[in-house]
Amino acid sequence: MSSNATASNSSCAPSDNLCTVATYRLDVIVVPTVLLLISVVALITMFALAYCHRAAARAPRYSGSLRRRTRRLQGIDAPPGIDPLEHEEVPMAVQKRTARGAAVPRATTGGSLGAFREVAALSPTLPVGGDDSVRLYRARMEDKDVVLRVLKDSASAEERRRFLSFASFVSRSGPHPFLPSVLGVVTRPLPAPLPAPALLMVVEELPHRDLLGFLWRCRRPEATACKMTEKRIFTMATQVASALAYLHSRGCVHGNVCARSVLVGADLTAKLWGLGAAHRRQTSPGTADGAELKKWQAPEVLARRDFSPSADVWSFGLLLHEMSTLGDPPFAPLRSAELLHHLQRGNYLRRPPGCSSAIFAIMSWCCQWSPRRRVTVATLAEKLRAGERKADGRTLIRAVGPLDTETYLRQAGYDEAYNYALL
């Protein structure tokens, strides 16, 4: 090529610049220009790929199975990223499948609020005060019975924040077969008698409601659905222990285990609820909370030390006492302020009349003074399952005398605290 260029150059006069440029245009102009364009395109491509990679790293990742499952579900929800204080709908966290493989219902985009039907106020079992910023209703949503936990329309910004924080807390706590399913949080104009617009949490309804009221109904001679036997106590206690172990595995100490915190389904399945105390301790650690009834608290909690999983085990033993007596409060003759001194003197929970030795043995293992001597939740679940296999499933448990509500409120310590709500 150099010989051709030399030959061509020899034909140009020394002063003919145009001839010289035309001769060398391929080497001097075309090739450098093409190389420059290729370099520019390569740089632009590299910058574009780097930007897309950073954007993908910042964006939330969802698996293909999750996207497919979300499209199949039904309910109430809103797109992610919505501000609950400025818009109408609040999305709940996606709940995974349970260990048994059954999909837990959750709120999803596109549900119709017209599905709420037969809305009626839900009264508590006991005539005592609770959270006056929340009202409870039962309703039908599509093919499900649900409970609506409704924030009053005159709620302050702080009450609204706490309501949404609690809804998020209980949504993250599940799913579990023995924890009630939270279906979502909604705010829109709703049918009467709900206030409009209303902020509410939608939870599955368990027809027999709280275990305390269920046990009281079992005292009635005409009760037909309340078949409380030793085997039934073991079965329901095993379910509650399973839920409690699950919460502990997630770093959550319940702190309020008792009959009023357990809900009962149509098939007499027991599901642990009453997570308000756990939410308050996680969102406001170190603050005093006098809402829990002290009759169910472990000695170290009464001494104002921290809650621990072993404190839940103590309360679980008192739950067994309630179930064995069809709803009698523990340590009935004592006032709450006297309980710690009573326990310090070496007094323990007495065996209720009619309580089997198998149930009382587990009750005693739970209610040991030293937290280190109490059974763990895992061991507790094993002992309950073993007891269920041998328990009497025919003999009905009977109460020792009629129930006096005023006497119960005093013996349970409601005159020294407040905390009763179904949800």
Mean pLDDT score of the chain, rounded to an integer? 76
| Between residues 246 and 99, the one the model is more confident about | 246
Let me know: does 315 contact 256? Beta carbons within 8 Å: yes
Which ranges of 59-181 does DSSP label H, i.e. alpha helix? 64-72, 157-173
Look at the chain and count its residues: 423
Let me know: does 352 contact 318? Beta carbons within 8 Å: no
Return the pLDDT at 68. 34
If you average pLDDT over residues 348-366, what whole number do you get? 93
Contacts of 21 (CB under 8 A, 6+ apart): 28
Is the pLDDT reported for residue 40 higher than 80? yes
Give the Å distances, CA to CA, from 307 to 158, 245, 303.
26, 15, 11
Is the pLDDT reported for residue 73 higher than 80? no
| Number of continuous H segments (helices) and E segments (strands) in the chain | 14, 8
Give the Å distances, CA to CA, from 35 to 22, 25, 28, 38.
20, 14, 12, 5
Write 126-135 long-range contacts (CB < 8 A, 24+). Answer: 126/212, 126/260, 126/405, 126/409, 126/414, 126/420, 127/405, 128/409, 128/414, 128/418, 128/420, 129/418, 129/420, 130/418, 130/419, 130/420, 130/421, 131/276, 131/421, 133/159, 133/163, 134/163, 134/421
Domains of the chain: 9-43 (no CATH), 75-204 (3.30.200.20), 211-412 (1.10.510.10)
What does the pLDDT look like over 303-340, one tens digit per residue?
887 789 999 999 999 999 999 999 999 999 899 889 99
Residue 254 and residue 241: Cα distance in Å, rounded? 11
Contacts of 288 (CB under 8 A, 6+ apart): none
Residue 333 and residue 406: Cα distance in Å, rounded? 14
Return the pLDDT at 118. 81
Contacts of 392 (CB under 8 A, 6+ apart): 229, 230, 231, 356
199: helix, coil or strand? strand
What percentage of the chain carries pLDDT values higher than 70?
Answer: 69
Confidence tier at 61 by pLDDT (50, 70, 90): very low
Contacts of 387 (CB under 8 A, 6+ apart): 234, 358, 359, 362
33: helix, coil or strand? helix
Confidence tier at 210 by pLDDT (50, 70, 90): very high
Residue 258 backbone dihedrals phi, psi, to 5 degrees: -170, 175
| Structure letter (DSSP) for residue 406 | H
Residue 177 and residue 95: Cα distance in Å, rounded? 12
Query: Which tokens belong to 405?
Result: 């509500």
Looking at this protein, which amino acid is placed at residue 272? L
Return the pLDDT at 79. 30
Return the pLDDT at 287. 54
Let me know: does 410 contact 343? Beta carbons within 8 Å: no
Residue 375 and residue 372: Cα distance in Å, rounded? 8
Residue 134 and residue 130: Cα distance in Å, rounded? 9
What percentage of the chain carries pLDDT values higher than 90?
Answer: 31
Span of 97-111, 147-161, 351-365 with lowest mean pLDDT: 97-111
Please report, in angstroms and rounded to a whole number, the separation of the first and last CA atoms in the chain.
Answer: 91
If you average pLDDT over residues 359-372, what whole number do you get? 95
Is the pLDDT reported for residue 164 higher than 80? yes
If you average pLDDT over residues 10-31, what whole number do you get? 66
Is the pLDDT reported for residue 71 higher than 60? no
Confidence tier at 116 by pLDDT (50, 70, 90): confident
Is the pLDDT reported for residue 291 higher than 70? no
Contacts of 5 (CB under 8 A, 6+ apart): 23, 24, 27
Return the pLDDT at 129. 53
Let me know: does 200 contact 186? Beta carbons within 8 Å: yes
